[in-house]
């Protein structure tokens, strides 16, 4: 089936094996991304439980009205992220959560696709509190003029465009990426995609629910100033304060009585 022909995506009911189709003109790459996201959110939300067997490649292709190639690529994506695995004599099964690549940016994004649960929010902020304050302290000792220039440019864009814009949100991610790079630790730098996804998704969540809180640019600028002045203790404290305020904004929205 060619790219420009009408495609179908079906909401698959794991109990009945039936669903409702939604048609549209979509490219093959878009189709497999959509299918991967749909199945992933079903798995993450608990609609598909560990051990559940997915329909076969052929069955999905026929039922969803898409090519086997698109189905195969969607399965490859989910398998690479640990959400599913082939099992002898059973087929492709949903895995336990312990097997998921929870630091993968796509997995983090899928977990935020619906209202994120309290444990997810807590875990992501705990991860940031463990990683980023320590990285900020290292950055204050190891940063160079390029790192400072990158962070300063990101601050300017955030201040000019605000975090309500895509450019402002990208600048926010760029700021954190430059900070991790300034720590001059390859293992820390490898966490950039995960940290960046957590930052972006929590910011979007707060904007969507009108809980952006106190001026986030000022909090970022305080981190930058401490790093620029080579003050690791201050950089650590300012970064921890920034993250805790972001966490407080989300918790307050989810539990207004706190």
Residue 10 bridge partners (DSSP): 21
Q: What is the DSSP string of 65-120?
A: TS-HHHHHHHHHHHHHTTSEEEETTTEEEEPPGGGS-TTSHHHHHHHTSS---HHH
How much is the pLDDT for 156? 97
Lowest mean pLDDT among 56-70, 74-88, 219-233: 56-70
> Which tens digit of pLDDT belongs to each residue from 162-201?
998 999 999 999 999 999 999 999 999 999 999 999 888 8
Residue 9, pLDDT > 50, answer: no
Do 6-99 and 105-254 agree at the fold level? no
Instruction: Tell me how far CA of residue 229 lies from CA of 101, 142, 144, in angstroms.
Output: 37, 11, 12
DSSP state of 2: -
Spell out the residues 6+ positions from residue 204 whose beta carbon is closer than 8 angstroms to its own.
Answer: 112, 169
Spell out the residues 6+ positions from residue 193 whose beta carbon is closer than 8 angstroms to its own.
Answer: 105
Q: Which helix (H) or strand (E) element contains residue 19? A: strand 19-25
Residue 21, pLDDT > 50, answer: no
Q: CA dihedral defined by 243, 247, 252, 255, rounded to 10 degrees?
A: -160
Return the CATH number of the domain spanning residue range 105-254: 1.20.120.530
Q: What are the extents of the domains in the chain?
A: 6-99, 105-254
How much is the pLDDT for 214? 64
Phi, psi of 118 (to 5 degrees): -60, -35
- Cα distance between residue 108 and residue 124, in whole Å: 9
- Cα distance between residue 50 and residue 16, in whole Å: 18
CATH topology of domain 6-99: Arc Repressor Mutant, subunit A (1.10.10)
For a pLDDT cut of 70, what percent of the chain falls above it? Answer: 84
Burial of 93 (0-12, 13-18, 19+ CB in 10 A): middle
In Å, the largest CA–CA distance within the chain is: 63
pLDDT band at 1 (very low <50, low <70, confident <90, very high): very low
Residue located via tokens 């875990």: 123
How much is the pLDDT for 4? 40
Structure tokens at 132: 């980023």
For a pLDDT cut of 90, what percent of the chain falls above it? Answer: 64
Lowest mean pLDDT among 29-33, 135-139, 142-146, 223-227: 29-33
Exposure string over 26-50, b if 16+ CB within 10 A, otherwise e? bebeebbbbbbbbbbbbbbeeebee
């Amino acid at each position: 089936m060619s790219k420009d022909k009408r495609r179908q995506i079906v909401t698959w009911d794991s109990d009945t094996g039936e669903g409702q189709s939604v048609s549209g003109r979509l490219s093959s790459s878009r189709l497999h991304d959509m299918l991967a996201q749909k199945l992933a959110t079903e798995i993450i939300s608990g609609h598909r439980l560990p051990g559940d067997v997915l329909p076969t490649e052929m069955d999905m292709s026929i039922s969803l009205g898409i090519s086997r190639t698109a189905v195969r690529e969607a399965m490859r994506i989910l398998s690479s992220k640990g959400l599913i695995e082939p099992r002898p004599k059973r087929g492709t099964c949903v895995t336990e959560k312990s097997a998921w690549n929870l630091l993968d940016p796509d997995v983090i994004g899928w977990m935020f696709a619906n209202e994120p649960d309290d444990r997810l929010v807590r875990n992501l902020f705990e991860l940031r509190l463990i990683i980023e304050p320590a990285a900020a302290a290292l950055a204050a000792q190891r940063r160079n003029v390029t790192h400072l220039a990158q962070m300063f440019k990101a601050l300017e864009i955030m201040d000019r465009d605000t975090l309500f814009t895509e450019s402002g949100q990208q600048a926010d991610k760029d700021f954190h990426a430059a900070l991790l790079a300034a720590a001059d630790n390859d293992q820390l730098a490898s966490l950039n995609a995960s940290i960046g996804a957590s930052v972006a998704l929590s910011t979007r969540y707060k904007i969507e629910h009108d809980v952006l809180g106190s001026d986030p640019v000022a909090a970022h600028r305080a981190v930058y100033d401490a790093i620029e002045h080579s003050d690791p203790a201050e950089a650590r404290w300012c970064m921890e304060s920034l993250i805790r305020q972001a966490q407080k904004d989300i918790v307050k929205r989810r539990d207004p009585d706190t």
